[in-house]
Amino acid sequence: MIMRRVALLAALVAAGGPALGQQEGATDIAPALRSAASAYRAGDLASAEVAFRSLAQGNADAEAWLGAVLLDRGLNREGLRHIQRAADAGSSEGQHRLALVYAEGLAGTPRNDARAVELFEKAASAGHFRAQLNLGILYLRGQGVARDPVQARAWLEKAAATGEPQALYALGRALSESDGTVGTDPVRAADLFRKAAEKGHMLAGLRYGLALSEGVGIKRDTVAAQRWLMKVRENGVPEAALALGDMAARTPASRDKAYNEKIVQSALSWYQSAADGGVPSAQFKLANAHFAGVGVPRDPMQAMLWYSRAAQQGLPQAQHALGIMLIGGVAGSADPVEGYKWLLLAEKAGNPDSRAVREKTAEQLSAKDRRQAEGLAQRFTPTLERPIDDGVTRPSAPAAPADR
């Protein structure tokens, strides 16, 4: 393979599980509330508040929406009061909104995952689409409840029956994962990603493009894969550029040297795009190219820069490479304390080669330097350049009106 020296890992940024669904569709909004909800989504909080206030008397769902509007306006006490009252009145919308408050710890409310699950379950049992989606996601992640892929899939199936793209995507993600208790279903997952992508869900488009490129759950079709991945990249998902780079890098080597060089440059161009977009795996691959001089002049300083960016985001392979460079002074003065710190972090994250290198390095450090490095490692917190959740990471409050 022409890009062997670039250490192609095929590792896209992995997400921890679907993010809680916040966007409302017509399927879960009563007709009488849709006009006010549309004003809310459009960012017209004043009109939305007036409309929901006029409807809230005797309509607990409208009161829950009013509470959400007030929270967005920063009127936390009044907003929480309306949401709590709606939930107490049995409104599934109120229960869902209150669950989101507890799931994220909004408006000064202490986070309480178990309480969030309880409220999501009440709303989900009443047929609330987003509550079904969110409850399934929490079961999938084991957040506030014991992880249960079977329960997760059951609730996500209910949500996906609405045809909402986020629910289709979340169910596809759940069917792509296995923990030994349930198997994967790559065929159905690919179909769900396709359906969600065709409805404009770009992260589903990324997953569908990957399935097409790798022939997972669907017949391999590199032309269709490239078409989808290009569309996804153009819509602001840099992981698609990483996938396109990997596709180029997997192109079999030819006897035509000019053709091989063109393929290398294509892969590097995509990796550069993804790296600039903050994707740590692309930054690592680009660093490898600069370090080895593949497709670009050998430049240890550039390699160290990209390893550092990926390492700061928590990528173990980059932390390992950066640690070795710092210990050996490959790109300048050696810094064994900082290098040892990165090796500790890489080892803790499970990088298989870091322990042996770290133990050998420890023999050359004083006890004081080792303690200093250990303290630095304990205080390290990854700094993300962009969310690594591919849209599926953590609970969050309802999206800002401008984003709905």
Note whether residue 372 is domain-resident. yes
The tokens 């939305």 sit on which residue?
Answer: 48
Following DSSP, what letter does each residue of 118-136 receive, concatenated? HHHHHHHHTT-HHHHHHHH
Mean pLDDT of the chain: 89
- Distance in angstroms (rounded) separating the CA atoms of residues 3 and 248: 9
Nearest CA to 310 among 348, 277, 268?
277
**Looking at the predicted structure, is the pLDDT value of residue 328 above 90?**
yes
**Looking at the predicted structure, is the pLDDT value of residue 11 above 80?**
no
Q: Is the CB of residue 123 less than 8 Å from the CB of residue 107?
A: no
**Looking at the predicted structure, is the pLDDT value of residue 17 above 60?**
no
- Distance in angstroms (rounded) separating the CA atoms of residues 172 and 186: 8
More confident of the two residues 1 and 351: 351
Q: For the chain, report the end-to-end CA distance as a whole number of angstroms.
A: 45
Note whether residue 40 is domain-resident. yes
Into how many domains does the chain fold? Answer: 2
Note whether residue 62 is domain-resident. yes
**CB burial string 126-136: b at 16+ within 10 A, e below:** eebbbbbbbbb
- Distance in angstroms (rounded) separating the CA atoms of residues 258 and 260: 5
Q: Is the CB of residue 402 less than 8 Å from the CB of residue 43?
A: yes
User: What radius of gyration do the chain's Cα atoms show?
Assistant: 24
Length of the chain: 404
Q: How confident is the model at residue 80 (pLDDT cuts 50, 70, 90)?
A: very high
For residues 346-357, average pLDDT: 96
The residue from 163, 193, 228 where one domain ends is 163
- CATH number of the domain within which 114 lies: 1.25.40.10
Q: How confident is the model at residue 390 (pLDDT cuts 50, 70, 90)?
A: very low
For residues 44-48, average pLDDT: 94
pTM: 0.84
Give the model's pLDDT for residue 179.
80
Nearest CA to 94 among 62, 125, 116, 46?
62
Note whether residue 52 is domain-resident. yes
Q: What is the pLDDT of residues 166-184, one digit of tens each?
A: 999 999 999 998 887 889 9
Q: How confident is the model at residue 397 (pLDDT cuts 50, 70, 90)?
A: very low
What is the three-class DSSP state of 340?
A: helix
Q: What is the pLDDT of residues 277-290, one digit of tens each?
A: 999 999 999 999 99
Note whether residue 86 is domain-resident. yes
For residues 377-399, average pLDDT: 66
Q: How far is CA 155 from the centre of its chain?
A: 21
Give the model's pLDDT for residue 181.
83
Which of 242-246, 362-366, 367-371, 392-396 bottoms out in mean pLDDT, i.e. has the lowest?
A: 392-396
Give the model's pLDDT for residue 283.
98
Which of 21-30, 177-186, 267-276, 323-332 bottoms out in mean pLDDT, i.e. has the lowest?
A: 21-30
Q: List the structure tokens of 60.
A: 């607990």
Note whether residue 114 is domain-resident. yes
The tokens 């769900």 sit on which residue?
Answer: 192
Q: Is the CB of residue 49 less than 8 Å from the CB of residue 65?
A: no
Note whether residue 205 is domain-resident. no
**Looking at the predicted structure, is the pLDDT value of residue 4 above 60?**
no
Sign of CA dihedral 82, 88, 90, 95: positive
Give the model's pLDDT for residue 300.
96
For residues 25-52, average pLDDT: 87
The residue from 163, 184, 204 where one domain ends is 163
The residues near 217 (Cβ < 8 Å, ≥ 6 apart) are 185, 186, 187, 188, 189, 190, 191, 211
**Looking at the predicted structure, is the pLDDT value of residue 152 above 80?**
yes
Give the model's pLDDT for residue 256.
94
The residues near 272 (Cβ < 8 Å, ≥ 6 apart) are 282, 286
More confident of the two residues 399 and 314: 314
Note whether residue 303 is domain-resident. yes
- Distance in angstroms (rounded) separating the CA atoms of residues 278 and 297: 23
Q: List the structure tokens of 75.
A: 């009127």
> ∠ at Cα 165 (160, 171), nearest 5°?
45
Residue 110 structural domain: 26-163
The residue from 120, 148, 163 where one domain ends is 163
Q: What is the pLDDT of residues 208-231, one digit of tens each?
A: 999 999 999 999 999 999 999 999
Q: How confident is the model at residue 125 (pLDDT cuts 50, 70, 90)?
A: very high
Give the model's pLDDT for residue 13.
24
